[in-house]
Homo-oligomer: A and B are copies of this chain.
Amino acid sequence: MVSQLVPRRGASVKDVAAAAGVSLGTVSNVLNRPERVRPSTRERVERAMLDLGFVRHEGARQLRAGTSRALAYVMLDGRNPFFTDVAQGIEDAAMADELSVFICNSAGSDSREHAHLEHLQQQRVQGILITPVDPDSAFLAEIVRRGTPVVIVDRTRGADRFCTVAVDDVLGGRLAVEHLVELGHEHVAFVGGPTAIGQVRDRLEGARSAWVEAGRDPDALVHLATAGLTVTEGRAAGERLAGLPRRRRPTAAFCANDLLALGLLQQTIGAGGDVPRDLAIVGYDDIDFAAAAAVPLSSVRQPRQELGARAAALALEEATDPGHMHQQVVFQPELVVRASSRG
């Protein structure tokens, strides 16, 4: 059901001007350059605004001034703490610049993402930060062509057409697997999917090269594919692992994100297994829940808030500096070792 919207009109600058006995221009000056108006006048105008419940019409302001004071972030998954932390970083940075941030959530859906993007362009936001469903989508490039800066967060694709801010996922995968190799594991599972997701692909790639470089048997690193990056999928993966005959069963698992790792952890413990004795687990993202898990989770930490802050800065730079050149910022991940892999 689409409801009928009714226009709502309140007091305008004109009403305020009339009430305060001044001209439009003066009211505008009170709003935008208060130092230019005589204190006594200013006070009268402010009084009138208060009395009339005046609220400046942002649409009209923007229309005339040609500028908006907002940034937007389109998250890939609003229920994954990783992304809400990135969003927090963006908000903090934007606030320092007196910008507000619209947080949107595509929830992994193409059409939802598209709807948000369309709307944000129409809002004339200063810049769109996005962790896209598909970073190669032509639509993103089209947005830039139409004049809105786009910064890709947490992906390195499309590097020539956008600024990107990402963490080196290949390195992250390496770190995790090098750690497991050092612990002496001969049989490791990589849990994650679908590989259509770039993050998954890169982490797997890093894992594989570290594994091979350590001289391990390539076939002893198995890829346990999942349909998504959720706790539920992690539990399902745990069941599949448990179903393997003991000698073919991995002694360690590296999960493509912490939600998977938490699911796997829960399933393993619930089935009477011991972590890390029976199965060492390393996750990815180091969300707050990782450290708080029953067996604190080893994880590859990404500088989430900094990721967001930097992305905001880049978008703003692109919006304001005509000579802007696209940049690729790559942060280094860091392995945090906790009980789930420490013996």
Contact = CB atoms under 8 A, between A and B. Distances in A.
A66 B8 contact: yes
B289 A231 contact: yes
A3 interface: yes
Interface string A126-142: 10000000000000001
Interface stretch (A116-124, A152-160, A200-208): A116-124
Interface string A288-324: 1100111110000000000000000000110110100
A106 to B, nearest CB: 10
Number of copies: 2
A9 interface: yes
User: Which of under 10, 10 to 19, 20 to 34, or 35 or more describes the interface residues of A?
Assistant: 35 or more
A173 B66 CA distance: 52
A269 B293 CA distance: 10
A121 B59 CA distance: 11
A108 interface: no
27 contacts: A1-B96, A3-B316, A3-B317, A5-B67, A5-B319, A6-B320, A7-B66, A7-B67, A8-B148, A53-B145, A58-B119, A58-B122, A59-B60, A59-B61, A59-B62, A60-B63, A63-B63, A100-B104, A103-B104, A235-B292, A262-B292, A265-B294, A266-B293, A266-B294, A266-B296, A293-B293, A293-B294
Contact of A105 (B53, B103, B293): B103
Given A60-B63, A107-B88, A8 B319 contact: yes
Interface string A54-97: 01111111110111110000000011010011011001000111
A9 B148 CA distance: 10
A112 interface: yes
Contact of A294 (B88, B98, B295, B319): B295
Contacts of A101: 104
Given A8-B66, A53-B146, A66-B8, A294 B294 contact: yes
A2 interface: yes
A331 interface: no
Contacts of A333: none
A291 to B, nearest CB: 8
Contacts of A288: 79, 231
Residue with the greatest number of chain B CB neighbours at <10 A, chosen from A3, A6, A107: A3
Contacts of A61: 59, 122
A34 interface: no
A271 to B, nearest CB: 12
